[in-house]
Structure 1
């Protein structure tokens, strides 16, 4: 394995003049790199490409031989116009929703690049009806809005003539012309040529955009030493020491990226849940099966309560417009977030289950516990096993008084009692009601199994 890595590294240095840094970052450097991500909470995921015509799935319809390469690539390229594309309006919407970062496909598995890469003619400028680079304006708009920039990049490229394995027929002679190569590259193996191409494109993305985050995909098609993942990661850090990388770089990622699968148990390192609004990542004209705003907000809450983020996906159309149902859902989420954001921003994962029958978050000073009530308000709820003197209890977004009392406490015997919070005069939030319980000093938790009270007051 080490001989293979050394050989590949040498090739990259000779042919691409790319600096590779071999040192692994120390733990404190890792924590510094990850801090903004752990604080971010909400990101917007954008799948935009040839598939945005809306007739079939992104890239996978070629893989499963539902459409030929020509049908998928060439014919759909005629409809990728970006005629109504307004990246500034996208960024404004994301900012209003409350997002802190956005990730957009620079290139999906099909090989179509949204920027005008010099390493492939299959890009928005040279291959599509848009006839221009559509990625650079997006990066600029996102940065101007104060959001972090995430670049999605597929490690596999199913149109590249040297990439394998491929499950469908391709016009091989045509592809050779669409991926220009230097004469000296004929002496390399096909996989060496592809690896060189991959590094060149990644380096080009970093030179142009200096992304805050790289969201890889497709790593399952090859082993770590084949990409080679370690060399990729070290190279990215040499190009931008502050960049963070998702988990789809074999085991060299910085954080976990579960997909459509909200964790029941919190992962043991930073993570985000990437989630679609309906059943599709890219725009599908026939997919009207949208999740409700309430469900999406609840999923957002469940993610943050376990210490994670939500990366919520949208799929713009080929002309650059975001489908109306997606805009409406984003705005509904944004309205709730604007009212209840203090229970999400600057918080940590909540207290352990058992203290409250639901999701919670904890302020960084450990003085406030935020309780999320998703199933509607009953007569009261309870908070159990929390040591500390209450300063205030309030329902976010409401001026209604909140009544409470502490029962069954015996602090002299290390029994903090049960806090009963009553909702007689409280207006319920239509999505998720948030109750913030603030204590005068940082809390501590009673984690005992229960015991007899040997002395009463």
Structure 2
């Protein structure tokens, strides 16, 4: 136990000496620029098509039967390079994959657990290392999903379902002195060791924690974990699911109505399931996925779009098709995705907007097919040009009801013929002189006319 405490203290002290080397804003910059990421949930649960880990938690399957799925988790057609090339082609900047879900299955070859893809699945090999290499070789950032809770660890609690304790002990070998520690101390030691192993092996750019709700921050302990991660990689960023010690918000499934007050991403499934679930055919349309991406970036966030590969390592056609559809739209409208910041406040345009980083171009996103004209209000700057993104077709416009002597800029009516419509979301670029200046007044009498 003394060795464990000394290790934790040493990690914390080292981290504190490194904090000054990289400020929060510096660490977060790549993430704020990223816009689109791919989330991957891959594990035993795809074999029977059941909910990942939760099927055990809710006792819809026994622990023993859940683990037997490993016998058919073959990864025989897994091609990490093919995956990475697909993700890169759609404009993704980072990829997050489950290294270990709540069920305890590690996809890498862990020396702290025999419950891993090499020792406890038909795949019989490390599945994580090829993934990390392929993602980095294709110029994307690596995100590691890691569950803080481990429902198969013999010393973890609380557990809601019966388990074979004898079998568990064989899967999680422990040192001779650990028998003198409390169960929770043994689990903390194990947890820190696996996290350190992931950093030694992969030095991730991002850690996507999950399961933090099962214990308080001082029980994990969250502060020690965060300090340790920064000591292992001073550039790493962490999602919000490390009680009070995350760097960015992680809303799930539904886009937030109001944007969080710090960097954020929306994680969202394509259907209703995170892992591969062959009977779940309730897929969201490609148009809706593009609209969700637009809604996220217009509020300064990212979209982390999930897929669940099959047990053999292939990606279902329904999921691949949607990735490709989103990718085609991103490629066509890349200037209105990457290199943008959150758009105008509500009321200036009745739809999502973003701004170029220098704030001299306003991007207007139209979810419906254009008809007659599109309206932009309250922009003081002189307009230089208005065009359709993706085709550069110039659009005619006029300004009505302006009163410049009263600082009322008027209403811009942009003529938008139906033939400019994109299949999913039409984007109009309004180029202005200088950084955008907005009229935010409540309105008043004009008092005089020309």
Q: Normalising to structure 1: TM-score of the pair?
A: 0.96
Which is further off, 220-229 or 422-431?
Answer: 422-431
Aligned-partner Cα distance in 1 for 2:6–2:32: 38
Which is further off, 321-330 or 392-401?
Answer: 392-401
Match of 1:62 among 56, 60, 65: 56
Q: Note if 1:414 corresponds to 2:404.
A: no
Equivalent pair of 1:16/1:196 in contact (CA under 8 Å): no
Aligned-partner Cα distance in 2 for 1:27–1:305: 31
| CA deviation vs aligned residue, 1:364-423 (integer Å, no higher than 9, x gap) | 111000000002212111100001111110111225331111111121221111110011
Aligned-partner Cα distance in 2 for 1:302–1:27: 34
Give 1:18 shift.
Answer: 6.2
| CA deviation vs aligned residue, 1:350-377 (integer Å, no higher than 9, x gap) | 0101000000001111100000000221
Aligned-partner Cα distance in 2 for 1:399–1:367: 17
Distance 1:15 1:175, change over 3 A: farther
Aligned-partner Cα distance in 1 for 2:403–2:48: 63
Q: Which residue of 2 is the match for residue 5 of structure 1?
A: none
Q: Note if 1:261 corresponds to 2:254.
A: yes
Q: Which residue of 2 is the match for residue 3 of structure 1?
A: none
Q: Note if 1:154 corresponds to 2:154.
A: no
Aligned-partner Cα distance in 1 for 2:448–2:235: 57
| 1:210-229 paired onto structure 2 within 5 Å | 210-229=203-222
Equivalent pair of 2:369/2:418 in contact (CA under 8 Å): no
Q: Note if 1:20 corresponds to 2:12.
A: yes
Give 1:429 shift.
Answer: 0.5
| CA deviation vs aligned residue, 1:62-117 (integer Å, no higher than 9, x gap) | 000111111001x1001111100000000000000100000000000000000000
Aligned residues: 448
Match of 2:395 among 388, 399, 402: 402
| 1:138-149 paired onto structure 2 within 5 Å | 138-149=131-142
| CA deviation vs aligned residue, 1:155-211 (integer Å, no higher than 9, x gap) | 000000000010111110111111010001011000000000000000000001000
For residue 216 of structure 1, give the secondary structure of its aligned residue in structure 2: strand
Distance 1:27 1:17, change over 3 A: closer
Aligned-partner Cα distance in 2 for 1:27–1:102: 25
Equivalent pair of 2:240/2:247 in contact (CA under 8 Å): yes
Give 1:262 shift.
Answer: 0.8
Q: Which residue of 1 is the match for residue 123 of structure 2?
A: 130
Aligned-partner Cα distance in 2 for 1:43–1:25: 26
Q: Note if 1:273 corresponds to 2:266.
A: yes
Match of 1:71 among 65, 77, 95: 65
Equivalent pair of 2:21/2:234 in contact (CA under 8 Å): no
Q: Note if 1:366 corresponds to 2:356.
A: no
Question: For structure 1, which runs of at least 5 residues remain unmatched after alignment?
Answer: 1-7
Equivalent pair of 1:51/1:59 in contact (CA under 8 Å): yes
Give 1:26 shift.
Answer: 6.5
| 1:26-425 paired onto structure 2 within 5 Å | 29-73=23-67, 75-424=68-417
Equivalent pair of 2:384/2:433 in contact (CA under 8 Å): yes
For residue 445 of structure 1, give the secondary structure of its aligned residue in structure 2: coil
Aligned-partner Cα distance in 2 for 1:58–1:213: 22
For residue 355 of structure 2, give the secondary structure of its aligned residue in structure 1: strand
Question: For structure 2, which runs of at least 5 residues remain unmatched after alignment?
Answer: none
Which is further off, 398-407 or 170-179?
Answer: 398-407
Give 1:440 shift.
Answer: 2.0
Equivalent pair of 2:370/2:417 in contact (CA under 8 Å): no
Aligned-partner Cα distance in 1 for 2:7–2:166: 24
| CA deviation vs aligned residue, 1:22-74 (integer Å, no higher than 9, x gap) | 6394697000000000000000000001112142110000000111111001x
